[in-house]
A and B are shown apart, each in its own frame.
Chain A
Amino acid sequence: MPQDPQNVTLLLHQWRSGDDRALDALMPLVYGELRRLAARYLNAERPGHTMRATELVHEAYMRLVGAEVGWQDRAHFYAVAARLLRRILVEHARSQNRLKRGGGEERVPLDEAILVSREATSTVLSLDDALQRLAVLDLRKSEVVQLLFFGGLTYDETAVALDISPATVHRELKLAKAWLHRELAQSQT
């Protein structure tokens, strides 16, 4: 169901101007598209390689916003998608955790149980948590990680999205990774 491009563009601009509620309105619009497109790309995936989220994000972008909008907006869109994906995954991981808590909590009917790798769930939650803390210390570094990990962007694409050079992306990533690794290792039970 194609969305009204003007609506989406307007929301994007509003968000860029600092209106966080615009993001909330954007999410459901974008999400549907992403989901739809994801199937195509995931089935074509090569084994062991990162999902080419930018391909599907780009297509979603084209459909939602149209081709006329400039680079800046496109880069911004990537950022939205990455943030969005992150939110989706974290929400999902949280709901997994709720299902998994045993001993004393209400028994979940087995039909609903989805056997997700427990490690993946808790890793994503820890990562999200750590990223939030990193964002307080150093917003740009956390954004770099968000784009690379959750958006599946390449270094060059990340550079464009954040309006910095690829070399800076690499540089920022070094400390970000070191910090995150340390935090995650500490939180590992």
Chain B
Amino acid sequence: MEDALPSGVARVSLRRRLAPLWPWLIAMVALALPFAVDSFSLFQLTMVLIYAIAILGLNVLTGISGQFSLGHGAFFALGAYATAILLEAGAMPYLLTIPAAAILCLVAGYLIGLPALRLKSVHLALATFALAIAIPEIVKLSIFEHVTGGVHGILVGVPPVPPVLKQAIGVDQWLYFLTLGIGFGLYLMSCNLADSRTGRALKALRENEVAAASMGVATSRYKAVAFAISAMITGIAGSLCALVVQFVAPDSFPFQLSIALLVGLVIGGIGSLPGALAGGVFVVFVPNIAESVSKGLAGAIYGLLLIAIIFSNRNALGRH
């Protein structure tokens, strides 16, 4: 018992010494994976990254500014449709459709955010939920059918690998690296946002709205900005999803998608930006695991796994 203490101290200090190495280790694994796994697993990993980006977007809203959204699946769908429709029209090269989708979702997020964010947290969650339910129905409307393809959706061609990389990597690897790069960029941007003047204003909003307002923070404008940036990041994830899955249809974006993103957010830890990755892993793999255990009880097993992970991970949840 007596020598337990020194070894414990040693372990902590070793861990502390290793701490700066973690990001490098993760980066090396992330860069090496595409050359180590088969193309299907790589596709799944790309989907993990895409959902991680979408959850990152939600985290900017919930983690930094303290607002809740049950409707981010709508922005995911908007980004995906923007890319698919632009490609279908042959309007621009596919790489440019990603920033186009981002700008569209930024503007849409701001416009929807302005009125919606006058609502208090729970009511805001419901208002955004309405958005998530409405989007698939709107896409199906016959007046938009010639653009959206209605219930039948739009096929997106396989995005070509840039000529300079063609010799070295295949399509699945290219899409993985593209998603990884964009995701990393958005992660850095979110970290910077959290530490910026805007970020501090948003955190003040999260902690106490009245106090923030009395300190001179324009609450509804800042909330709308947070909502817009959050919608933009999630929209970029949707745009990447269209390129990777190469198909969009209303049934790909049911309101359950918004719930799945929220579940991923809570699993990864609200306010924990790297936790978005854990959330992405959960969103992609846990439904498959639940189904592989039992088809009839897949929903119940999903719920059990969710509860098990929440309890095994309890102290990480809700951390800012």
Q: Do A and B bind each other?
A: no
